[in-house]
Amino acid sequence: MSGFGGKRGSIMQLELIESEYKVTGDGITIELFPKEFTLFQFLYKNRGRTFSREQLLDKVWPLEYPVERTVDDHIYRLRKKLSKLQGLDIKTVRGFGYSLTMREPSVTMTNPTTYDAKMQETMREVFVKYHQYGQGRSMLTLARQQDVLGYEMDPFYSIYIHFVQGDLEWLLNTEEVEIEERFYSLMICYIFLGDPKKKLEFCELVLEKKILLPPQHREMEILNILDLYTFAGQPEKAIERLKLTHEVIKEPGYENFIPVTAISEMLVHLWMGTKDQELERMAKDIEVLLQEKPFLREIGSYKVARGLWCLRRKSWREAEQLLDEALQVLEMSGFVPMRIYALYRIVHYCNEFSPQSTLHQKYADLFEHEKEERGFHRLEQSLENVLMNIVTAL
C-alpha cells in the first residue's frame, strides 16, 4: 500500500490501495486493472519526472515483451479513468514519453471546522468507536476524507491507521513521529515473524525494561504474551498469567478486553488438550459475550478457535469452513495485522499437532503469501535490527 499520499497544500490527498488496485482521493474511488495500477503507481512515486516508453516498459512489464503501443493504450485508459481527480495530469512530452503532474491550488484554504475543538473531539470519538468494533475499513475511509470533512486526525490514530493497513515500511522508516510512538505497533508485527521462543524472550525483555508506554505495557503483559507462551511450548505459563489478566480486566476501562481474553484462554486450553466438555462451556460463554459486544476482530478470532477445535476432532470440512470464515471476517474488518495473526495461530497449531496435511499446507501458503504481499519478509531483518537496537541501548 502506498499510504496516504500528497502533502498539505496540494489539491488532494491520494491513497493507492495495492491489494485492491484502487486509487482514492477527494472522496472518489477509482478501480484500475493490475497493469494500469502498476503503471500509475510508478508514475505517482516519480511524479514530475519524464519517462520514455522503453523505460516504462522495463519498469511495468519486466520479463514481458509488449510493444510500445501497449504503454500508449494504458496511458489513454488511465487518463480516462482518472479524469475525475482534479489537478492530476499525465502529460505527453513530445519526442520522449510521459510525465505525471499534480497541480497545486492557487489559493490554499482549509475548512473552518478544522479549527473547531468540538469537531475534533467528535471525530476522535468516531475513530474510537470504529476501533472498538474492529471496523478498520471504516477508519481508513474516514482518514482519507479528513480534508473534505474538515478535521485534523488525532495523533494516535494518525499512526494507528498505518498499523491497520499493515504498512510496516511506514512504521519502520517514517520521520513524522518518534520511534517510541511506533514501537508497540512494530513489536506486534515482529511477534508473528519467526520462532515464537525467540519472540517470547524479546517480549519478556521489553517488559522487564519497561520500554513501552504504560497502556501498551499493560496490554502486552496481560494479553499479547499469552499466545507466545503457548506457541513457545509453555502453556502452563499462559494459564498462570491469565490469573493476572482476569484481575486487571475487572478494573474500569478494561471491559472490552473481556471477549479477547476469553478467546485467548480457549486457545490455550485447546493447545493443552482440555476436554471437549470444558471447551464447549468456554465457547458458549464467548458467544454470549460476542452477542453483547459484536467486535469484528474478536468474531474472527473466535472462528479461528472453533476451527482449530474442529481440526483437533478431525472434522476437516467444518474446520476449513470456520477458518475460511474467520479470514473473511478479518478481511472485512480491514485490520491487516489481525488477518496475518490469525494465519499465524492456525499455522503454529498445525505445526504442533500435524492435522490434515492438505489444510496445513493451504494455510501455510496463505500465511507466507500475506507476509510477502505486505513486505514483511523483505523488512523482517530491518525490523529486528531496529527493535534490538532500541532494547540494547537501554
Name which of 30, 299, 18 is nearest 165 in CA terms.
Answer: 18
Gap between the Cα atoms of 116 and 112, Å rounded: 7
Pairing of strands 22-25, 28-31: antiparallel
Per-residue pLDDT of the chain (394 residues; tens, 9 = 90+): 555 443 333 345 678 888 788 888 777 889 999 999 999 999 988 888 888 888 888 888 887 777 767 888 899 999 999 888 877 889 888 778 888 887 655 555 678 888 889 999 999 999 999 999 999 999 988 887 887 788 888 889 989 999 998 999 889 988 888 898 999 999 999 998 889 999 999 999 999 999 999 999 999 999 999 999 999 999 999 999 999 999 999 999 999 999 999 999 999 999 999 999 999 999 999 999 999 999 999 999 999 999 999 999 999 999 999 999 999 999 999 999 999 999 999 999 998 886 678 899 999 999 999 998 888 988 999 999 999 999 988 7
Gap between the Cα atoms of 234 and 231, Å rounded: 7
Dihedral angle sign, alpha carbons of residues 216, 221, 222, 228: positive
Gap between the Cα atoms of 334 and 351, Å rounded: 27
